[in-house]
Amino acid sequence: MSVLNFPRIYLNGQMFWNPPTANNNDMFPLYDAVNTDINWSFMTHFGIDRNNAPDTLMPWAISTQYMAGMPTYVQQVPNNINPKHDPYMPAEWDLFGDNGCGLVNYGKTKSTVIGGEVQPNSYIDKDALIGAQYHLLGSPLGSNTPTAARFVDISPWQNTFTALYFDKLVLGDANCGLTLNRKYRMMDRFLNFSWGALGGLVNVSTTWQTCFPKENLEWALGNSSLLANLKQQMEQQGAQGLMFRFCVYLTCYDKNGIFNDYPQRLDTRSNNPNVMAKVRDLYRKGLDNVNEIFFNPAYSRTSAVLGLWFAGEYPTAPAGRRLVANEAVSMSQLYSQETQQVKLGVISAQINDYTLSLDLGNTFPSYPVDATADIPVPEKFNAGTYHLGAEKDGTFKPAVILNFADYRQSAFNQRSGILDVPLDDYTKGVLESGPLILRRLGLYSAPQTVAATQQTWTAEVIESGSFIDVGDYKKLTIMVQNNGQPAANTTLWVAEYNNPYMVTSSDYYLAFSNAADFTLFYDNPADRSKNTAGLPQFTDAPSVGLYRSTGSGRRLTDLQDVPEPSGTPVGYQEFLTVSGKPVAVNLRPCLTLDKPIGRTGTLNDEKGNSVNYTYAVITTNAQGIAQIGCKAVAPGFPTLRFFVKEGDKDPTIPFSFPLTEAYVDFLAPLRVLPLDMKLQQDFIDTWNGMCTSTQAPEEIWNTFIFPKVLQSFYYLYPIMNKYMPLDSRTRVEGAVDQLLILINKDNQDESTLAMPITRDLSQSRRAVLQLWAKRLVKLNFPPRKLSMSDYNDL
């Protein structure tokens, strides 16, 4: 099943990631993403408001800012302080990014098909397709030229989940190749920021997957036996299409002139004020002159596999038997005596006849052999030797052995992270006898470490990462598996969680409807790098271990367990409504689930408050598929978590859980965009008050369209200055037909053409823009009044 089956095609290359980093700020709450606006409450600390923003906001964004100069509430957020990134530039490392992503084919760097296999141990490195480039492409806009694929963090500050939007995947060309037209967008999986403690984001990896039905495939077989065999086996094995899975790792920055032809060479990783000044000068030139705008993407190594997709398999995440980390293991760089303790990643496993196939794409972390090299070369950490076996009747039986040679980078590269191990009757019998266990062998007769165990239950929500408007109803489809097989007639409980801060990647808290209070974090004014999240639980639930990190998410560089927190407890309600208001996020429910069940739990912290919350109960069908409906009721970033009911025992719904658990949990992140009927009415009233004036077209632009609809996007996405300057009435009105296409709600779910590409145009702002464009601009501003009914049928 899946890409672990045969045949396979292997691909290897480099990916670029080009986000607009001003709206993606990890440390300072410049953007109030809940309300899709500049966080003006925060900006007042620097003397910046709506009126003086045209002259002051972007200079501030490219200035050198010290954490000591931030409001107290920014410094208090746990894990938000990282001395390695202080001072810090709010615009970060790619001010003019356009959210583009894709494969690199520039200079010495090529992204190509490297090989394939039609059966075990039949590696093919000579074929008409070998060496052909491959591309992830976006939708063309008014031409035959495709645009870039796009990627968007579901939450600008919660870096855990990112969606990748594309139109097609292309291997080769029209003479010999394959075009795979999108059915499902992608969502990253198994993103474990804890590996950042090994040295930074360069050590972190993630997995992506999407699938293509047979009818979405365009074949140009040419003389390629790899393509011909893949097509033939898709039909003979009864596959429903093809699966494309890839991992990305060894992310690096500031590679202009190496992976692209941009002449601007930056060092955005330095916190030396003199170096930052050089970056500021380049940014200022781009802000002053669109001809000086440039990109500064991040780049990652990527390894990919194309194989068969069968019925019952998750389309957007690995299915089948899965092992997840248990205990930390020691690992070291090659030829180094220095070891570090860290947990492994995720392993997908499958037995094909007498071959065990393991997907190790996101199992063992990598590091750059030479961190200063223009093009970093990866190697895997040596994490020791392992026995993979199964447990039966309480006894572990080893079946196969994994040495460093099996997972080191050279082996990883050849088969894009897949390891095939031959089995005999005995070893196959062992592996099929019970849940899989991976044990690291101890040195010199030391005890073995249980490094990973088989995850009994897995679940995948097809519509994860959806953007929903307040008032809209959404039905989500959940596919559930038990030990790698569809879980029929399985009961799930569903609850909503949220994150409490507008900065950094933070922990998860159950959404609740009353004014419950609890210890949100412990504050240490003398050294706020010691601040620790509270993570209280209900009195009938087990406690969770507390932790502290240096930085969080993409900027995490150290991770420590905290047996006992120190500092002064800070309550959630006080921080939300008073001291931390500009950075705090309301943990109210953003969704109303179908057939909600109300419950009250008592917290085990010093305050002992009662918490009112709801959950829903759903059951899978014979195919292991269930659905949950929800209505969006408040803007925000809800994450649904799913709990399996085993037997007669009800699941435990925790009040909170740490970010470090999120990468293998059953989570479905969503975004709810605000509804602002007052904005829509204000536009009507404003126009009606000036519609007979000859200056009305200019006045409505200056008083409403730009300042109340477009202004925040103008600041956050300065790349638009190059194509459609959002502060220019002439340019926007001149491209009004294109604007209407790009902001169409139909583009929001899947298209790479959505504008803004981050999909955070609220429905009310969209309605105002559409009414202005269709009823005013396109009709040459008729001197007649509008009414709220004019919003209908836009």
At 303, the pLDDT band (50, 70, 90 cuts) reads very high
Cβ atoms < 10 Å from Cβ of 682 = 15
Assigned domain for 487 exists: yes
Q: Is the pLDDT of residue 436 over 70?
A: yes
- The predicted pLDDT at position 260 comes to 96
Assigned domain for 343 exists: yes
Assigned domain for 735 exists: yes
Q: Tokens 């949220």 identify what position?
A: 498
Q: Which of 455, 484, 509 is the last residue of a domain?
A: 455
CA distance 690 to 706: 16
724 shares a domain with 749: yes
Mean pLDDT of 632-648: 96
- The predicted pLDDT at position 450 comes to 97
654 shares a domain with 713: no
How do beta strands 100-103 and 149-153 pair? antiparallel
Q: Is the pLDDT of residue 342 over 80?
A: yes
707 shares a domain with 641: no
Assigned domain for 192 exists: no
Model confidence over 234-289: pLDDT tens digits?
A: 999 999 999 999 999 999 999 999 999 999 999 999 999 999 999 999 999 999 99
555 shares a domain with 543: yes
E strands, 95-139, where?
Answer: 100-103, 112-117, 134-137
CA distance 555 to 27: 9
Model confidence over 498-537: pLDDT tens digits?
A: 999 999 899 999 999 999 999 999 999 999 999 999 999 9
Model confidence over 194-208: pLDDT tens digits?
A: 999 999 999 999 999
At 392, the pLDDT band (50, 70, 90 cuts) reads confident
Burial annotation 656-667 (CB, 10 A radius, 16+ → b, else e):
bbebbebbbebb
Q: Which of 432, 455, 478 is the last residue of a domain?
A: 455
Q: Are 21 and 97 in contact (CB under 8 A)?
A: yes
CA distance 487 to 630: 23
Number of domain units in the chain: 3
Q: What is the DSSP letter of 763?
A: H
Assigned domain for 558 exists: yes
Assigned domain for 214 exists: no
Q: Which of 455, 474, 501 is the last residue of a domain?
A: 455
* Token pair recorded at residue 729: 């009435």
Find all residues with CB under 8 Å of 523, minimum gap 6, and list them.
76, 531, 567, 568, 569, 570
Give the angle subtended at the CA of 654 by the CAs of 652 and 656, to the nearest 5°: 170
- The predicted pLDDT at position 443 comes to 76
CA distance 484 to 151: 29
698 shares a domain with 662: no
Burial annotation 175-213 (CB, 10 A radius, 16+ → b, else e):
ebbbbbebebbbbbbbbbbbbbbbbbbbbbbbbbbbbbb
580 shares a domain with 707: no
Assigned domain for 200 exists: no
pTM for this predicted structure = 0.96
499 shares a domain with 412: no
Model confidence over 578-604: pLDDT tens digits?
A: 999 999 999 999 999 999 999 999 999
- The predicted pLDDT at position 623 comes to 95
Burial annotation 306-326 (CB, 10 A radius, 16+ → b, else e):
bbbbbeebbbbbbbbbbbbbb
Model confidence over 602-622: pLDDT tens digits?
A: 999 999 999 999 999 999 999
413 shares a domain with 371: yes
Q: Is the pLDDT of residue 704 over 80?
A: yes
Question: Dihedrals φ, ψ of 234, to 5°?
Answer: -60, -40
- The predicted pLDDT at position 1 comes to 64
- The predicted pLDDT at position 442 comes to 87
Chain-centre distance of CA 434, in angstroms? Answer: 33
522 shares a domain with 388: no
- The predicted pLDDT at position 539 comes to 96
Say which CATH number the domain at 463 has.
2.60.40.10
Q: Is the pLDDT of residue 749 over 90?
A: no
- The predicted pLDDT at position 157 comes to 81
Percent of the chain with pLDDT strictly greater than 70: 100
Mean pLDDT of 97-123: 96
Q: Are 679 and 764 in contact (CB under 8 A)?
A: yes
Domain of 477?
A: 457-673
349 shares a domain with 377: yes
Q: Is the pLDDT of residue 455 over 90?
A: yes
Q: What is the CA radius of gyration of the chain?
A: 27
624 shares a domain with 494: yes
Assigned domain for 311 exists: no
482 shares a domain with 338: no
Q: Are 149 and 141 in contact (CB under 8 A)?
A: no
Mean pLDDT of 467-474: 95
